[in-house]
Structure 1
Amino acid sequence: MQGTVDGFSYGAVTPVAAYIMACLGAALGLRCVVRSVYNERSWKPGWLAMGACSIGCGIWTMHFIAMIGFRVKESRIHYDVGLTVLSLVVAVAVVAVGVFAVGYRGVSTATLCSAGCVTGLGVAAMHYLGMAAIQLNGYIRYDMAVVALSVGIAIVAATAALWAAVSIRGFLTSLGASLVMGVAVSGMHYTGMAAVGVHLHGTTGGTFTGESPMSMLLPMLIGPVIFLLLAGVVVMFDPMLVLGEGDWDRSAVRRREGPRQPWRADRPDVPPQHPDDSADSLFAPAARRAHRQPQSTGHRIQRW
């Protein structure tokens, strides 16, 4: 018997909320990757790991918020906790592979294509692993042509996201890229859901009783959502976020040129470099003034 599938049992609430979470995860992930690539003094592994976790949690949260609205009218639905948690681990791990590859090896065509394929396949694996966690009075069948289309969308979306992560520096452009990525991730999800068909064992109304999908999924979503909020606080209060593109470029030029030479009497045109005179020192102006003050020799100069 064919079951009646409804992916929008709460109307537009679940798709809109899922899209917002996908955009939030993408925005935070892109900013973290940009922070690690264009500021050499940052702790690159930490920022890349935060970016991977943000994007992975955003994709996973988007999926299961959307699944809150999934219903089969003739059967109850339950979720296997182990497979649900495993899908989160897979999402973060495969996104980390792509993010670290691009973060350390750059945006060469070969690196971008390979990392995008791995990440896209991982996102698709997360989606269908999450679908495998569904337990109902029957089994799920897929239209393989639509499944292949959803995998292709995932690969294109992942490749575009990785390219944007290392190619787009401005805040507004990163925000626009995250909105586009949210559309791609949501499109991949609902394309995959369009491939779903449910074959029921009978019309008994299901064998699962007790908790509803919402009462089970909402507590599991709390952890990733809290992580995204904390990551948002870290990103928003990071001082590099408020610097313009020119400031990042000048900082990179100073690091490439190396420290300035100390002042010499035969080279008065070369400015002195005080030990505390750095771009990030709040006391640099005071340090320069103190350095330029003539040093007392301990002898009083008699004026005639």
Structure 2
Amino acid sequence: MTELGFGWITPVLSYVMACIGSALGLRCMVRALSASGRARRNWLINGAMAIGTGIWTMHFIAMLGFGVTGTGIRYDVPLTVLSLLVAIAVVGIGVFFVGYSRSRTLSVLLGGLVAGVGVAAMHYLGMAAMRLSGEVGYNAGVVTLSVAIAVAAATAALWATLTIHGAASAVAASLVMGLAVSAMHYTGMAAVRVDVHAAHEATPGATPMQFIFPLVVVLGSYLFLTSAFVALSPGAQAMAAAPRDEGRRIEL
């Protein structure tokens, strides 16, 4: 029997992190599409890292509140780290589809499909990293629904990068995307069934507080600091105006 610890703290905090990652990724993508060359590539990389990190952080903050009656939960460290790398890498493929494709519709559809499947892969890799005294099973229909939600959320996120530029619209889009990512996570969790066995030996792996919590803090700090950097960095219009302003100063 699964249980929810920490009450509403972990769902609310995980949603906030999903929104922050989505908002930051959206702003990086907007900057990328107004840049070219190396600058575009760098902004796309930052966008992929922000979205992938935000989604991963959301997942494992939510998992801090997940428990199973009758057994403790530990995590396989290499597999958990792999789930983070998969999230960033596959979201990055979707982001680069949008950043360099000449067809907006094709780039959003293909990018959303790839990124959504990557988000789902991250989720279920993270679940596979769990170590407990029992067997974990899934409802295939609910799993399929969670993957569909992930693809829809990723597609909506990439569409937003091409159509939303105002600050208020970007905030609204990030709130919706955070909600979609959270819906995917909790739909995936609803598919979980655990058959608890009697524990005859210690469960291998790291406890959430030994590994997951410190890593979540580090990645959360990264998102906040990167958000400040993006907010303070000059936008496309300011950068375009800078050479003209400098030229005026030289003439004077």
Distance in 1, Cα, partners of 2:36 & 2:7: 46
Answer yes or no: is 1:234 the counterpart of 2:229: yes
Q: 1:217 aligns with which of 212, 217, 231?
A: 212
Output the TM-score relative to the length of structure 2. Answer: 0.92
Listed as ranges, the matches of 1:124-203 within 5 Å are 124-202=120-198
Q: Kindly state the Cα deviation for residue 122 of structure 1 after the two structures are TM-superposed.
A: 0.4
Write 1 or 2 for the structure with the bigger share of helix: 2
Answer yes or no: is 1:50 the counterpart of 2:36: no
Change (3 A) 1:205 1:179: farther
Distance in 2, Cα, partners of 1:152 & 1:209: 33
Q: 2:248 aligns with which of 285, 291, 300?
A: 285
Letter in 2 for 1:208: T
Alignment correspondent of 1:294: none
Alignment identity in percent? 48
- Aligned 8 A contact 1:150 1:191 in 2: yes
Distance in 1, Cα, partners of 2:27 & 2:117: 23
Specify every segment of 5 or more residues in structure 2 that has no aligned partner in the other structure, as ranges: none
Alignment length, in residue pairs? Answer: 252
Higher relative CO (CA 8 A, sep ≥ 6), structure 1 or 2? 2
Distance in 2, Cα, partners of 1:192 & 1:279: 48
- Aligned 8 A contact 2:97 2:110 in 1: no
Alignment correspondent of 1:71: 67
Larger Rg: 1
Output the TM-score relative to the length of structure 1. Answer: 0.77
Partner SS state of residue 135, structure 2: strand
Specify every segment of 5 or more residues in structure 1 that has no aligned partner in the other structure, as ranges: 252-277, 291-304
- When structure 1 is superposed on structure 2, of 225-234 and 278-287 the one drifting more is 278-287
The CA RMSD over aligned residues, in Å, is 2.2
Partner SS state of residue 245, structure 2: coil
Listed one character per residue, the Cα deviations across residues 200-256 of structure 1 (whole Å, up to 9, x for unaligned) are 222x49733896423331112233223212211210111218x6xxx89xx5xxxxx
Distance in 1, Cα, partners of 2:44 & 2:217: 23
Distance in 1, Cα, partners of 2:51 & 2:110: 18
